[in-house]
Amino acid sequence: MSKQRIVVVGNGMVGHKFIDTLITDDSVDYDIITFSEESRLAYDRVQLSGFFSGKTADDLALTDAAYYQENGINFVLNDKVTQLDTANNQVITASGRTESYDKLVLATGSYPFVPPIPGNDQAHCHVYRTIEDLEAITASGKVSKVGVVIGGGLLGLEAAKAVKDLGLETHVVEFAPRLMAVQLDDGGGQLLRRKIEDIGVQVHTGKATTEIVAGEQCRYRMNFADGTFLETDTIIFSAGIRPQDELAREFGLTIGERGGIVINNQCQTNVDNVYAIGECALWNNFVFGLVAPGYQMAKVAAAHIKGESLQFTGADMSTKLKLLGIDVASIGEVHGQTPGAQSYTYHDEIEQVYKRLIVSEDGKKIVGAVLVGDAEAYGTLLQLLLNDMTLPANPAVLILPSSGDEEASGLGVDALPDSAAICSCFDVTKGDIKSAVAAGCCSMGDLKDATKASTGCGGCSALTKQVLDAELANLGFEVNNNLCEHFEHSRQELADIVRVKKIKSFDHLLSEHGNGLGCEICKPAVGSILASYWNDYILEDEHMELQDSNDIFLGNIQKDGTYSVVPRIAGGEITPDKLIVLGQVAKEFDLYTKITGGQRVDLFGAQLHELPLIWQQLIDAGFETGHAYGKSLRTVKSCVGSTWCRYGVNDSAGFAIELENRYKGLRSPHKIKFAVSGCTRECAEAQSKDVGVIATDKGWNLYVCGNGGMRPRHGDLLASDLDDYTLIKYVDRFLMFYIRTADRLQRTSVWLENLEGGLEYLKEVVIEDKLNLNAELESEMQRNIDNYQCEWKTTISNPEKLKRFKHFINSDQIDNHLAFKRDRQQRIPAEPVKIQPIEVLELTE
């Protein structure tokens, strides 16, 4: 019996997935040949932007010649199928090659849509689709200063990251009134724009380009329909995709009104023995532009060819991405098209987080959600939607910041049914993961090899890990708490490795104890560990890539793209002369001035190029950085104590200054705040701080692990009636033990709540030296103190580092797009977005 001959036209991600699915069935042997008009076999287009951060074509490859040859798959590269002879079951290529088929699968994908703008075909106008396109963009970048991306959707923002990675002044031009108009609502789009502009990408919405002509300052000038224009040296079109249906259209297959090869639930076309899958296919008048639906189609077509019963009935278009370093997610229907739907909105302007949960009229089912700035809830919300699960009594808890109550949402992975789809790219259910764990998978690496879960777009990786850990725990295994996929160690273990082996750089740690290139989880975590132990200058080249945006510029980025400057005012005590200097600096640079809750002066509205100038004046007056931008000691708040107050029993202000000067610059898993009160009247609110000190008639009482904020926690009394020397020793030990053992981004309050043995164990460690560590902890703290430097001062004395404080890499121009107005006699951003209270608002749409 002869083998059934399968011809696959297109060897992109979906075409390769179809082949991979077909050959997994050992009971049937097929004669498979695939054609690609590109010069290489299938590669990962989802991760295409990684090309600009060091990934090679080989890194992106999904398969290779050896794999296909090993499995008996024939492949032809650089030869496009140009004719179909469906009467004789044959395909003909551009080179004249003819191949017969029993079954034909069209996986021709899509092509980038380039708007019909006069001048769109010039030398430095590109699309963003293939590796060859990326190579051309890279070549243009070498001879350009300014780059524009036309299109503000998913692919457009990916392209914008590529332009920014090339070091160009970056602009995004979008015809719609907001970014990601299909996936986001107005609130989400506004916040995404603000966050993108904060990192230096200029956004222009509501712009229709009418022509591209020669520029005066740059290579090209883009003229817009509203009479404005923008000059640029290179242009990338990323304005959407169109189905690659030319072949099918020419040779008799049914095509949709707006393009796409019409298919049924088995992915069959109107012509016998011909299937269409992926972005070239039109199902129920819908073209799916994500990889996951394409993979489902590939699975359905393969099943039908094998005689199995499987149908394609549509796909969820929810998506979770990190765009330009910003977490963005969209789930279900978010544009108010569901009658009676209500929404809960959480909007935190300070942390720049926007979450909107849309629920059914009766409040029992999820309709959709938008998450910008924090997409941690994506996995939970998606499962609620996909499995039609009933919402908890108070749905608001699903989008509110964690309160520390793990049961608050009423949903954990144990509540999901085995049929719940965890990885839509590879159709992996919770039941599949449970089976893989039962068969011996004990790590994410094992699970990826066995099921391919989270190896597609990666959006399900967090949820996949949760299901893996829960199932391992249910089976009695000890669950690992690896920091991320690049380190098979927890943060605590990495801290020990850095300390014991005296590792001074991320690359050294990665080469000896990790794998891959690192990620946004491990880099800042390791950067914090290195700073905690060695306290080196954080802008040294080997540390630069580890820092977040605030640390990189030694200031807090504000919503309009300016920065705040917060000098240290130890203990809240300041001389009149220094106070005058702050006023003079604020007046000279027209900075909005505010007294903070930590008894400091915050200067808002400084532009990037002004920061070194401001720092220089402050340093000349005796100020130094206040580290308001870092996960470090922020402030030591105090009252005036016995110096002035008739109730004070000790010098709280003097002791606060001593403590702040001792621990300033100490980097830690999260920010740390102190306070010192001069008596039990507690004017400095010490019991709501990470370290709180209260004077008594016998000395000092030491409180630890308190915090204010969203979930206030009263500090616990660690020790009573201490002298200055003993209290400082206890604080040294406490802080270094916290730095050694906490998880990444874990406040002291949550750390203590999760510390086995709790407060009593902490007392045994810090006071009784149960672990025989106290001498080490004190020594580590002293080394940190000895290595202290003012990061502002170090930066302004280094001409190379000062080059970073420019708006544009290749130009000394300043940012002229900022707009301000006067309010209460101070300069503030023009047309500010009203700061909503950090609470849930229930609205009826």
**Radius of gyration of the chain measured on its C-alpha atoms:** 30
Q: pLDDT tens digits for 668-692?
A: 999 999 999 999 889 999 999 999 9
Closest residue by Cα to residue 202 from 145, 148, 143, 138: 148
Per-residue model confidence (pLDDT) at position 800: 87
- Residue 698, token pair as written in the block: 């016998």
Q: Rounded to an integer, what is the distance from CA 158 to the centroid of its chain? A: 13
Predicted model pTM: 0.57
Q: Is 442 helix (H, G, I), strand (E, B) or coil?
A: coil
d(CA 779, CA 736): 10
CA distances from 612 to 558, 581, 602, 606, 607 (A): 17, 16, 16, 10, 10
Q: What is the dihedral of CA 573, 576, 581, 583, to 10 degrees?
A: 90
Of the listed ranges 295-299, 701-705, 711-715, the one predicted with least confidence: 711-715
Separation CA 606–CA 628 (nearest Å): 15
pLDDT at 561: 82
Q: Is the Cβ–Cβ distance between 418 and 431 less than 8 Å?
A: yes
Q: How far apart are CA 759 and CA 572, in angstroms?
A: 30
Lowest mean pLDDT among 55-59, 120-124, 549-553, 808-812: 808-812
* pLDDT at residue 389, as a whole number: 87
Contact 178, 189 (CB under 8 A): yes
Whether 404 shows a pLDDT value over 60: the answer reads no
Residue 589 has a pLDDT of 95
Q: Work out the number of other CB atoms within 10 angstroms of the CB of residue 807.
A: 17
Instruction: Scan for tokens 């507690």, then name that residue.
Output: 682
Other beta carbons within 10 angstroms of residue 726's beta carbon come to: 15
836 pLDDT more than 80: no
Distance between CA atoms of residues 122 and 137, nearest Å: 13
- Residue 127's pLDDT is 95
Please determine, for residue 147, whether its predicted confidence score (pLDDT) is greater than 70.
yes
pLDDT tens for 713-771 read 889 999 999 999 999 999 999 999 999 999 888 889 888 887 878 899 999 999 999 98
**The 3-state secondary structure of 151-214, one letter per residue:** CCCHHHHHHHHHHHHCCCEEEEEECCCCCCCCCCCHHHHHHHHHHHHHCCEEEEECCCEEEEEE
| pLDDT over threshold 90, residue 603 | yes
Answer with the residue of higher pLDDT: 844 or 179. 179
Closest residue by Cα to residue 244 from 529, 15, 494, 584 = 15
Most confident of 264-278, 422-436, 556-570, 767-781: 264-278
Report the alpha-carbon distance of residue 684 to residue 676 in Å, rounded. 6
| C-alpha span between 626 and 95 (Å, rounded) | 68
Bridge partners, residue 675, by sequence: 637, 692
- What pLDDT score does 408 carry? 41
Closest CA to 294 of 38, 28, 44, 25: 44
Which residues have C-beta within 8 Å of that of residue 142, sequence separation ≥ 6? none
Task: Choose the weakest-confidence range: 169-173, 274-278, 632-636, 707-711.
Answer: 707-711
Token pair of 172 as six digits:
């995004």
What confidence category does residue 811 fall into, taking pLDDT thresholds of 50, 70 and 90? low
- Asked whether the predicted pLDDT for residue 265 surpasses 90, the reply is yes
- Which structure tokens are listed for 551? 């640390």
Average per-residue pLDDT in the chain? 89
Which residues touch 731 (CB under 8 Å, ≥6 apart)? 659, 663, 691, 702
pLDDT tops 50 at residue 837: no
One-letter amino acid at 333 equals E
The pLDDT value recorded for residue 834 is 41
Report which residue type is found at 451: T
Count of alpha carbons within 13 Å of 542, Cβ hemisphere only?
Answer: 13
b/e for 776-786, b at 16 or more Cβ within 10 A? ebeebbeebbe
Give SS3 for 661: helix
Strands (E), 245-365: 261-263, 274-276, 281-283, 319-323, 326-332, 342-348, 353-359
Q: How many residues does the chain have?
A: 845
Cα–Cα dist 551/541, whole Å: 13
**Among residues 318, 329, 313, which one has the least CA distance to residue 290?**
318
CA separation for the pair 665, 627 (Å, rounded): 7
Q: What is the mean pLDDT of residues 417-437?
A: 85
In the block, residue with structure tokens 């902890």: 777
pLDDT at 839: 40
Tell how strand 125-127 and strand 319-323 pair up: unpaired
Q: How confident is the model at residue 229 (pLDDT cuts 50, 70, 90)?
A: very high
Mean pLDDT of 406-429: 71
Q: Which two tokens stand for residue 610?
A: 């002004």
Q: Which two tokens stand for residue 719?
A: 């020790």
In terms of Cα–Cα distance, which of 234, 209, 204 is closest to 219?
234
Q: Report H helices in 548-610.
A: 549-553, 576-588
pLDDT tens for residues 86-126? 999 999 999 999 999 999 999 999 999 999 999 999 999 99
